[in-house]
Amino acid sequence: MDRRQQKTRHAVFDAFAHLLERKSYTNITVQDIIDEANIGRSTFYSHFETKDELLKALCSEIFNHVFAQEVFKEKTHDFSKTGNNNIKAEITHILYHLQESSRYIKRILSCESGEMFMRYFKERLTQVFEGELEKQKSDIPTEYMLNHMVCDFAETVRWWMNNERYSPEDISEFFFSTTPFK
Amino acid sequence: MDRRQQKTRHAVFDAFAHLLERKSYTNITVQDIIDEANIGRSTFYSHFETKDELLKALCSEIFNHVFAQEVFKEKTHDFSKTGNNNIKAEITHILYHLQESSRYIKRILSCESGEMFMRYFKERLTQVFEGELEKQKSDIPTEYMLNHMVCDFAETVRWWMNNERYSPEDISEFFFSTTPFK
DNA sequence: ACATTACCGAACGGAATGTACATTTATGAT
DNA sequence: ATCATAAATGTACATTCCGTTCGGTAATGT
C-alpha cells in the first residue's frame, strides 16, 4: 500500500480519536475531521464514504488486534480436549488485548459511537461463544443463552472501561462469577 | 392541556412510530414526520426541539406505563418482609407491561433509536434493582453487579422483542435462570 | 526518469435544519 | 354567543453540512 495512503489513514484515525475527546460523535462533522487531520476534503472521501464507515474501519482495526492470533488458532484446534479452563484463558487474553487499545475504546464508548462499537463487538463475540455454548446443557433456549453471554461480556467490558482500576484477571473473575458456564 | 396540543402530540408520536416501520431513525427527517403527521413545520418545532427530544418524550411515555402503579407502590412498602419472590413477581409484572407496548418498542428497537431506548430503559431499571441488590452478599463489587443485572435484563427484553413467541413467564424464567439472585 | 497514483482545495448543487412572521383557526372562560 | 388567548399554519430565509467534481500539484516506486 502506498505510503501516502497509510499516512492519510492514520492521520484520520488519530484526528477522529482526538476529536472524540472534545465532541460527541454526532457533533463531529466530516469537516472537523478533515481540519484536524490536515488533509484535503476530497482525500477524506476517497478513503471513507461516510463518517460511519470511518468508525467501522476503526473498529475493525481494533478488533483485528483484540481477537488476533493465537486465540483463533487455539479455537480451530481441538478445544474440547483441554477442558473448560481454556474459555477462561481465552477471555482473559482478550481482556488484555482490550486493555492495550483502551485509549481508543474509551473514547469511542464515551458517546453514541459506542453503540456501533458494541454492535460490532457483539458480532465478533458471537463467533467466540458460539462453539463454546454447544457443550452446555440446559432447558433454556440456546439462542437466549448465546445472546446472554455475548451481551454480558460486552457490557462487562463497557463497564470496565469506566472502572479501569481493575485488572484483566479481576474482570475475568467478575464475569465468570455471574456466568452459568460449567 | 389544550385539546389541539394533545392532538398534535399524538399525531406526531403516531407518525413517528409508523415511519419507523419503513425507515431507520437516522433516515427519518423532521420533514418526514411533519408530512406523515400532517402538521405545519413550525408546529412541530413548538412541541419538540429536536428529533431526539421527540424520541425521548415517546420513551418517557412508554416507561411511565411500563413502570407504573403498583410496582412502585410495592417498592415503597416494606419489600424485604415478603422475601425475594417479590422481585420475580415485579419483573414478570414489568414484562407484561412491556408486552402491551411491544408494538412501539419493537419499532424503536429496530434501529439506532433502540440504543437511546436502551439507555433510558437502563436508567429506570437501575432504580428498580438498586434496592434489591443491597440484600445480596458477594465478593464482587456492588457496582459491577448492579450494572450486570440492569444490562442483563435490558438485553433480555431486547432479545424478547425479536422472539415474541415466548410469554412473560417464560422470559422471567430465562432471566432468573442465569441470574445470581438468591 | 517516468508513468502512476494520491493529494489538494475551491466551487457547486442539494438536502435538511431551525427560525421568523404574518395569517388563520380552534379553544374555553365569561 | 362573544371574545381574548393561544395554537396551528405555511411560506420564506439564512445556515450548515454533505458529497461530488475537476484541474492542477506533489509524492511514489519501479
- What are the tens digits of pLDDT across the range B26-64? 999 999 999 999 999 999 999 999 999 999 999 999 999
How far is residue A58's CA from residue A19's CA, in Å, rounded to a whole number?
14
Cβ proximity of A164 and A115 under 8 Å: no
Q: How confident is the model at residue A79 (pLDDT cuts 50, 70, 90)?
A: very low
Nucleic strand C contacts from chain A, 104-133, CB < 7 Å: none
Q: What is the DSSP letter of A67?
A: T
- What are the tens digits of pLDDT across the range B150-171? 999 999 999 999 999 999 999 9
Q: Strand C nucleotides below 7 A of a protein CB?
A: 5-11, 15-22, 26-28
For residue B82, the model assigns a pLDDT of 53
Sign of the C-alpha dihedral computed for residues B105, B108, B109 and B110 taken in this order = positive
For residue A86, the model assigns a pLDDT of 84
For residue A138, the model assigns a pLDDT of 81
- Chain A hits for B159, Cβ within 8 Å: 143-144, 147-148
- Which pTM was predicted? 0.90
Report the alpha-carbon angle A31-A59-A63, nearest 5: 160
